[in-house]
Amino acid sequence: MRRDITSEDLKRYSPLAAIVAVFLIVLLVLVTSGGDDNAAKEPVADKPATKPVAKKPAVTAATGATANVTPQSTEKVTGAHDDPVPILMYHVTKTAPAGTPYPELWVSRDDFTAQMDWLAENGYTGITMAQLFNYWDEGFKLPKKPVVISFDDGYPSQASNARPVLAKHKWPGVLFLEQRNVDSAETGFKTSMVKKLLASGWELGSHTINHSDLTTLGPSELEAEVAESKERISKQFGVPIEFFCYPAGKFDDAAVAAVEDAGYKGATTVEEGVATPDKPFELKRIRINSDDGVDGFASKMQSAEQ
pLDDT top residue among 90 and 10:
90
Answer yes or no: do 21 and 92 share one domain: no
Same domain, 14 and 92: no
One domain for residues 7 and 128:
no
pLDDT tens sequence across 108-161: 999 999 999 999 999 999 999 999 999 999 999 999 999 999 999 999 999 999
Q: Is 305 helix (H, G, I), strand (E, B) or coil?
A: helix
The span from the CA of 213 to the CA of 223, in Å, is 13
Residues 23 and 112 reside in one and the same domain: no
What is the span of the domain harbouring residue 26? 1-33
Question: Is residue 13 within 8 Å of residue 21, measured between CB atoms?
Answer: yes
Is the residue at 53 inside a domain? no
Same domain membership, residue 293 and residue 211: yes
Same-domain pairing of 98 and 224: yes
Count of domains observed in the chain? 2
Cα dihedral across residues 153, 120, 272, 139: positive or negative: positive
CA 205/CA 266 separation, integer angstroms: 10
Are 170 and 68 within 8 A, CB to CB?
yes
pTM (predicted TM-score): 0.79
Say yes or no: 109 and 222 in one domain.
yes
Examine residue 60 and state whether it is found in any structural domain, yes or no. no
pLDDT of residue 27: 38
pLDDT digits (tens, 9 = 90+) for 213-252: 999 999 999 999 999 999 999 999 999 999 999 999 999 9
State the DSSP code for 118. H
**In the chain, at which residue ranges do the beta strands (DSSP E only) sit?**
87-90, 124-127, 145-153, 174-177, 203-206, 243-245, 266-272, 283-287
Residue 61 clears pLDDT 60, i.e. is over it: no
Q: Is residue 41 part of a domain?
A: no
Write down the pLDDT at residue 34: 33
Q: Would residue 54 count as lying in a domain? A: no
Contact 134, 148 (CB under 8 A): no
Looking at the fold, whether 179 and 277 belong to one and the same domain comes out as: yes
* Domain membership flag for residue 163: yes
The pair phi, psi for residue 95, each rounded to 5°, is: -70, 135
Does one domain contain both 276 and 176? yes
Instruction: Assess whether 126 and 249 both reside in one domain.
Output: yes
Cβ(107)–Cβ(113) under 8 Å?
no
Check whether residue 22 and residue 132 sit in a common domain: no
The answer to whether residue 61 sits within a structural domain is no
